């Protein structure tokens, strides 16, 4: 059985892994960076400000274990870069899990980076409901962490990458040890692009050390890309860097056209192109909106577009999409579904209508789509609701 996955974000990666696990021959085609390269490092099933279902399917748990990047726990708490202590259902292993540190003292490294204000962060963390309830103490500790003046304003990605070298990591460890002996250290998102860097530092230091969440496009997204590429290599997933222009049924199989004219064929296709945030769903130019639906996928495929639970044509007027009526926040709720009866075609991740745009929802949808194709015979399968 041949499975083709369009998109190599978290949903596409989970789908590719699961299809390989089920014995399929898998090809992933992707081009631009998606939301998975912008994310914060925290894992949620529903947005963390809402309460919701917390258990994951065994297949999703298996994927999380195999990618080896994340630790998952129901009652995790992480610190955001803005100083909020927030719950999460898991996180990149480089992030500091605050839950086991309740009641202890956490030092926040006051380094000379221009984008980092440890004193302000500490004020906010100390005032959080969690710190008050658990009696946790956050304290700013001066630590000269820069070796060169220019490091104060190089991109976070480049600053984090410096700590992938064993020599620089040893130096960081000595600086922290020389500054204080707290129960744990909280640092900015500086602990490497290599997913193994943070745990190597923690081992050397002998106390928990970890990051706040990453800002968009920070080291957490870069670590995902590293872990994804390694997973694809370990499991012999074939990867192609190209834009997909069209997904079309040809008899019982699917034909996928790439930019440049190449055609690929598969028994089942998972479209995991992401949502509006990352360009998997695009807004048509105003002059084209009179003839076409206002939102469409970044490729042509037999899907229907939805805004929240409503079909797009019931929401948009003859003059295009009315943002004045719906608000800009509606962009998070634009999604697609396969047209009814399109067998062997699945959508997963942020592109899917009516599902939360979160990491764990993307994983769940990715593994479920691959299972449907592989267990129910690809081109013979029907699209899930
Ligand atoms: C700033 C930010 C912070 C976030 N923070 C959190 C958080 O704290 N917790 C949480 O749970 N979630 C968070 N999310 C949401 C989470 O990152 C997404 O839900 C998840 O990464 C979606 O993954 P995906 O695979 O569906 O899409 P994406 O990661 O967007 O992947 C889309 C893929 O499709 C490919 N693609 C698109 N069009 C084409 C085409 N025509 N041809 C070929 N390839 C194509 C792209 O190359 C890319 O590989 C955050 C998102 C953002 C943007």
Q: What angle do CA 362, 363, 365 make, to 5 degrees?
A: 65
Choosing from 52, 274, 351 the residue with most ligand 1 atoms within 8 A of its CB, the one to mutate for a pocket test is 274
Among 213, 248, 279, identify where a domain stops: 213
Q: Let me know whether 82 and 188 are in one domain.
A: yes
Domain count, the chain: 2
Report residue 196 as tokens: 């193994």
> Is 197 touching ligand 1 by the criterion CB < 6 Å?
no
pLDDT at 101: 98
Distance 349 CA to ligand 1 centre (A): 8
381 pLDDT above the threshold of 60: no
pLDDT score at 385: 40
Same-domain status, 109 and 243: no
**Ligand 1 close to Cβ of residue 244 (< 6 A):** yes
Domain identity same for 253 and 161:
no
Residue 233 in domain: no
pLDDT at 315 over 80: no
In this prediction, what percent of the chain has a pLDDT beyond 90?
81
pLDDT band (50, 70, 90) for residue 163? very high
Question: Ligand 1 centroid to 126 CA: how many Å?
Answer: 32
Mean pLDDT of 241-257: 96
Residue whose entry in the numeric block shows the structure tokens 């399109």:
342
In a domain, 228, yes or no: no
Whether residue 227 lies inside any domain: the answer is no
Ligand 1 contacts CB of residue 10 (under 6 A): yes
Residue 191 and residue 173 in contact, taking contact as beta carbons nearer than 8 Å: no
Whether ligand 1 lies within 6 angstroms of the CB of 110 is answered as no
| Selected residue with higher pLDDT from 315 and 360 | 360
pLDDT in tens, 188-224: 999 999 999 999 999 999 999 999 999 999 999 999 9
Quick one: pLDDT at residue 178? 97
User: Residue 97's closest CA among 229, 185, 27?
Assistant: 185
- Picking from 350, 372, 376, 347, the residue whose alpha carbon sits closest to that of residue 361 is 350
Query: In which domain, by residue range, is 316 found?
Result: 2-35+239-380
Q: Is 362 in the pocket of ligand 1 (CB under 6 A)?
A: yes
Which residues are within 8 A (CB) of 13 and not within 5 positions of it... i.e. 6 or more apart? Answer: 28, 36, 67, 228, 231, 232, 366
The answer to whether residue 224 sits within a structural domain is no
Nearest ligand 1 atom to alpha carbon 361: 19
Question: Can you give the pTM of this predicted structure?
Answer: 0.94
Structure confidence by residue, pLDDT tens digits, 262-298: 999 999 999 999 999 889 999 877 666 666 668 899 9
Averaged pLDDT, 222-245: 98
In ligand 1, the atom with minimum distance to the C-alpha of 10 is: 25
| 105 and 134 belong to one structural domain | yes
> Residue 47 — pLDDT band, cuts 50, 70, 90?
confident
Same domain, 62 and 121: yes
pLDDT (tens digit, 9 = 90+) per residue, 132-161?
999 999 999 999 999 999 999 999 999 999
What residues have CB less than 8 Å from 297, skipping those under 6 apart? 271, 273, 280, 281, 282, 303, 336, 351
Same domain? For 141 and 196 the reply is yes
pLDDT at 113 over 50: yes
Of all protein residues, whose CA lies closest to atom 35 belonging to ligand 1?
7
Same domain, 11 and 53: no
* 271: nearest Cα among 20, 1, 22, 34: 34
27 and 53 assigned to the same domain = no
Tell whether 114 and 142 lie within a shared domain.
yes
Same-domain check for residues 105 and 252: no
Same domain, 283 and 140: no
pLDDT category at 382 given cuts 50, 70, 90 is very low
The share of the chain scoring above pLDDT 70, in percent, equals 92
Residue 220 belongs to a domain: no
Instruction: Measure 279 CA to ligand 1 centroid, in angstroms.
Output: 9
pLDDT at 289: 63
> Quick one: 290 and 176 in the same domain?
no
Q: What CATH number is given to the structural domain containing 256? A: 3.50.50.60
- The pLDDT score that the predictor gives to residue 377 is 64
- Ligand 1 touching residue 281 (CB < 6 A): no
Closest atom of ligand 1 relative to the 360 alpha carbon: 11
pLDDT at 343 over 50: yes
pLDDT digits (tens, 9 = 90+) for 350-362: 999 999 999 999 9
221 occurs within a structural domain: no
Ligand 1 site, residue 191, Cβ cutoff 6 A: no
């Amino acid at each position: 059985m041949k499975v083709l996955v369009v998109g190599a974000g978290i949903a596409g990666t989970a789908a590719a892994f699961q299809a390989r696990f089920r014995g399929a021959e898998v090809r992933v085609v992707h081009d631009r960076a998606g939301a998975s390269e912008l994310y914060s490092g925290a894992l949620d099933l529903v947005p963390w400000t809402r309460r919701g279902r917390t258990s994951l399917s065994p297949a999703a748990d298996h994927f999380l274990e195999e990618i080896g990047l994340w630790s998952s726990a129901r009652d995790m708490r992480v610190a955001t870069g803005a100083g909020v202590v927030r719950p999460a259902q898991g996180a990149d292993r480089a992030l500091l899990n605050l839950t086991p540190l309740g009641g202890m003292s956490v030092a926040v490294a006051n380094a000379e980076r221009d984008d980092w204000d440890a004193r302000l962060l500490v004020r906010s963390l100390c005032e959080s409901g969690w710190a008050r309830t658990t009696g946790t103490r956050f304290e700013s500790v001066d630590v000269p962490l820069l070796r060169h003046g220019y490091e104060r304003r190089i991109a976070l990605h480049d600053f984090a990458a410096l700590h992938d070298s064993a020599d620089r990591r040893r130096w960081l460890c000595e600086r922290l040890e020389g500054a204080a002996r707290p129960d744990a250290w909280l640092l900015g998102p500086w602990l490497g692009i290599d997913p193994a860097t943070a745990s190597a530092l923690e081992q050397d230091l002998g106390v928990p050390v970890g990051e706040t969440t990453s800002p968009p496009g920070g080291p957490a997204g870069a670590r995902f890309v590293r872990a994804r590429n390694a997973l694809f290599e370990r499991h012999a997933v074939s990867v192609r860097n190209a834009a997909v222009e069209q997904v079309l049924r040809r008899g019982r199989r699917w034909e996928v056209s790439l930019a440049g004219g190449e055609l690929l064929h598969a028994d089942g296709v998972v479209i995991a192109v992401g949502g509006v945030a990352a360009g998997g769903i695009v807004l048509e130019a105003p002059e084209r909106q009179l003839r076409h639906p206002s939102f469409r996928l970044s490729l042509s495929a037999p899907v229907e577009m939805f805004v929240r639970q409503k079909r797009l044509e019931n929401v948009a007027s003859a003059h295009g999409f009315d943002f004045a009526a719906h608000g800009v926040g509606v962009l998070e709720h634009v999604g697609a579904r396969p047209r009814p009866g399109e067998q062997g075609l699945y959508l997963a991740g942020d592109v899917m209508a009516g599902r939360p745009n979160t990491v764990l929802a993307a994983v769940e949808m990715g593994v479920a789509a691959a299972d449907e194709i592989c267990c129910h015979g690809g081109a013979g399968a029907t699209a899930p609701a």
